[in-house]
Amino acid sequence: MTESLNGKGLALVPKSDAKQTMKDYKSDQEVRWCPGCGDYAILAAVQSFMPELGLRRENVVFVSGIGCSSRFPYYLNTYGFHSIHGRAPAIATGLAASRPDLSVWVITGDGDALSIGGNHLIHALRRNVNLNILLFNNRIYGLTKGQYSPTSEVGKITKSTPMGSLDKPFNPISLAIGAEASFVARTIDSDRKHLQSVLREAAAHRGTSLVEIYQNCNIFNDNAFEPLKDPEVRDNITLRLEHGQPIVSAVKAVRRRPDGSLEVVDRDGVDESEIVVHDAHNPDPSVAFALSRLDEPWFAHVPVGVFRSVERPSYDHEMSVQVEAAKSERGAGTLSDLLMSGDTWRIG
């Protein structure tokens, strides 16, 4: 148990002998999201990605909270637990910490993860339990029919905010990096190839990975991410984060200012050597954090990809190490030793 599991997120999960297909991961339940919901695309992407991992299907568990996205586990033919609003990271922590042989996925939304469950999310991230958290961010409460969420932009007109919302939204990436997350990424529902590439890296990461997935709610917040999907502009505003590559869009580049902060400038006229080269494995989170701050509410430019992927011990593994150390130092416990462990005396 003492060897490093870094980079081996699934090292302890048994592999399947049989070749799997997407069909193996579809459950017999009818999918009941609204027609046109971005969740369909994410579900299909996950179902077609899972066979690639080659895990025994019975060792895969999807745990969710409450919200539209949290119905996800019902549609996957694995073990699944649809739990309580906000609590999925806590429940998944107990499961993953006691069962290192499982691949545990948490499905959550912006309200579930960042509002009612904010505490569990940040503590899961700092502990670094071996979990993959997929945060479907549609910037709205869908299941309760359209209230603003903790990622809605200021001034959002919704049923509960007819004169506009007042509170500043969270940036989930900044929040996760601030919570000591070891793996933080962003992708989008409509780009299956990119989504799956991020999932691949998240699954390989030993520890908690947080993947923010921009997801369209076509009923209550339609086209929230339209600029990122519009073929006319998307390549101009998407800053691709690829480890070892310069951070650029089709027309923009990221450059370091003299004071060390980052700025987005026109790609034309900037010297290649000035463009920041992405280092997802940098132990110092400040550059990843600075990248997360390049977001602008109206999508002038959006970094997408793996912001941060660093190796540090996972909680579940460390917990197992302590249990094994206690057993090897003092031997497995017996009840008679336990009961006799204090001052005892005999009568009769």
Partner 1 sequence: MTKQVQQLDRVIIRFAGDSGDGMQLTGDRFTAETASFGNDLSTLPNFPAEIRAPAGTLPGVSSFQLHFADHDILTPGDAPNVLVAMNPAALKANLGDLPRGADIIANTDEFTKRNLQKVGYTTNPLEDDTLAEWRVHPVPLTSLTVTALDNFDISKKDAERAKNMFALGLLSWLYHRPVDATVKFLESKFAKKPDIAKANVAAFNAGWNYGETTEAFSVSYEIKPAKLTPGVYRNIAGNQALAYGLIAASVQSKLPLFLGSYPITPASDILHELSKHKRFGIRTFQAEDEIAGVGAALGAAFGGALGVTTTSGPGVALKAETVGLAVMTELPLILVDVQRAGPSTGMPTKTEQTDLLMAMFGRNGESPVPIVAPSTPSDCFHAAIEAARIALKYRTPVMLLSDGYLANGSEPWRLPEIDELPDISVEFATEPNGEDGTTFLPYKRDPQTLARPWAVPGTPGIEHRIGGIEKADGSGNISYDPNNHDLMVRLRQAKVDGIDVPDLEVDDPDGEARVLVLGWGSTYGPIAAAVRRVRKAGGKVAQAHLRHLNPLPANTGDVLRAYDKVLLPEINLGQLALLLRARFLVDVISYNRVRGLPFKAEELAGVIQDVIDSD
| Binding region for partner 1 (CB under 8 A) | 27, 29, 56-61, 63-64, 66, 73-74, 77-84, 87, 90-99, 101-102, 119-120, 123, 319, 322-323, 325-327, 329-333, 335-336, 338-340, 342-348
CA dihedral 24, 28, 33, 39 (to 10 degrees): -10
| Cβ at position 187, least distance to partner 1 in Å | 25
Question: Beta strand pairing status for 132-137 and 209-214?
Answer: parallel
Neighbour-count burial of 76, counting CB atoms closer than 10 A to its CB (0-12 exposed, 13-18 middle, 19+ buried): buried
Which C-beta is closer to partner 1: that of 40 or that of 74?
Answer: 74
- Chain-centroid distance, C-alpha 286: 19
To the nearest whole angstrom, how small is the minimum distance from the Cβ of residue 91 to partner 1?
Answer: 4
Q: Is the Cβ of residue 16 or residue 236 nearer to partner 1 in the bound state?
A: 16
What tokens appear for 241 in the block? 């984060």
Closer to partner 1 by Cβ: residue 28 or 271: 28
Nearer to partner 1 (CB atom), residue 218 or residue 320: 320
> What is the DSSP track for 35-104?
TT-HHHHHHHHHHHHHHHHTB-GGGEEEEE-SSSGGGGGGGBSSEEEE--TTTHHHHHHHHHHH-TTSEE
CA distances from 76 to 61, 120, 213, 259 (A): 9, 24, 18, 49
Residue type, 242: E
| DSSP result, 9-28 | TTTTSPBPSS---GGGGB-S
Give the nearer residue to partner 1 in terms of CB position, either 219 or 319: 319
CB 13 within 8 A of CB 95: no
Least separation in angstroms between CB 67 and partner 1: 13
Are the beta carbons of 172 and 149 closer than 8 angstroms? no
CA end-to-end span of the chain: 47
- φ, ψ of residue 290 to 5 degrees: the values are -60, -40
Give the residue with the Cβ less far from partner 1, 33 or 214.
Answer: 33
**Minimum CB distance to partner 1, residue 25 (Å):** 10
* Cβ at position 54, least distance to partner 1 in Å: 15
The β-bridge partners of 212 are 135, 186
Which lies closer to partner 1 via its Cβ, residue 5 or residue 275? 5
CB of 209 to partner 1, least distance (A): 18
Q: Looking at beta carbons only, is 80 or 172 nearer to partner 1?
A: 80
Min dist. Cβ of residue 12 to partner 1 (A) = 12
Please report how close the Cβ of residue 26 comes to partner 1 at its closest, in angstroms.
12
Q: Would you say 273 or 341 has its CB closer to partner 1? A: 341
Q: What angle do CA 78, 80, 83 make, to 5 degrees?
A: 170
- Nearest-10 crossing angle of helices 88-98, 315-330: 40
Q: Work out how close the CB of 271 gets to partner 1 at its nearest, in angstroms, rounded to a whole number.
A: 47
> Locate tokens 């745990």: which residue?
63
